[in-house]
Homo-oligomer: A and B are copies of this chain.
Amino acid sequence: MNKVFVHEQLIRFSHCDPAGIVYFPRFFDLAHATMEDWFAQSLSQPLPDLIRDRRIGTPTVSVQCEFGKPLRMGDTLRFELSVRKLGNASVQLAYSGKKNTVEHLKMTQTIAFMSLDSASAIPIPEDLRPRIEQYLAV
């Protein structure tokens, strides 16, 4: 327990703005990619299957981010994802965004589990809960 999911992504031309640094909304895209790979690789539940086969979505309820140091194209962003809180129907994720070993940004994101048919919140699926719990920071 106390696992951390590590995901590295190259900062590309398309992520950067006229100041040559990552345009901040792109960091949420990059974090979403990290979450998608965590679902697929660590939770063994790819999001496309969750959405299409099980009709369960994971809307983002809230997000906070502090941008400490910029990133530039050509940099490698390393996101370290862990779980900060595990509720009945929601999960709070924490992302530490690093370049080399230095933290450049940190983010928390709360996602809910939602039935796409009823559009209402549902408990975290029983098969996923223990897998998510392994990433709960202690």
Binding site for B on A (CB under 8 A): 12-14, 16-21, 23-26, 28-29, 32-33, 36, 46-49, 51, 57, 59-67, 70, 72-74, 116
Contacts and interface: CB of A to CB of B under 8 A. Distances in A.
Copy number in the complex reads 4
The 9 lowest CB-CB distance pairs between A and B, nearest first, are A48-B74, A25-B28, A48-B73, A64-B64, A18-B20, A24-B60, A62-B66, A16-B18, A25-B29
A90 to B, nearest CB: 12
10 contacts: A12-B32, A13-B47, A14-B32, A17-B17, A19-B59, A47-B73, A47-B74, A61-B66, A63-B67, A64-B65
B13 A32 contact: yes
